[in-house]
Amino acid sequence: MTNLKPLYRGTQITWFVLNVLESLLAIRFVLKLLGANPLAGFSQFIYSVTYVFAQPFLNVFRMTRVAGSTIEWTTLLAMLIYYFIALAIVRLIFMNKPVSQGEAEVKLDRQDPENPVV
């Protein structure tokens, strides 16, 4: 029997990293939304840590500003994209999971466009 622990650990690490990143980006979003002082130490820390992750998306949408608050839509987009990246990584990890001959046949039959299984 193949040891599945490395695959399990790989998925755990992927989801952990995603949760940390998503949490930091969510804090960034809330700070901007509530109009937090950008010169405050905590705000500066969050903005500097998350900038590298938010930066590729910063010009995709306009920011909405209302009475001192900023809705940074691009941070939400970044969170969505990073979720999809983590999901793809987990799927790649699962490709290394050993399968039996019977399980492989069933899964291949489901993917066969000529013989769709309902």
∠6-94-118 over CA atoms, to 5°? 155
**Helix count and strand count (H, E) for the chain:** 4, 2
What CA–CA distance (Å, rounded) separates 98 from 90?
Answer: 15
Alpha-carbon radius of gyration of the chain? 21
Least confident of 3-7, 37-41, 82-86: 3-7
Q: How confident is the model at residue 14 (pLDDT cuts 50, 70, 90)?
A: very high
36 contacts: CB under 8 Å, gap ≥ 6: 42, 43
What's the pTM value of the predicted model, to 2 decimals? 0.80
For 95, the token pair is: 């490709």
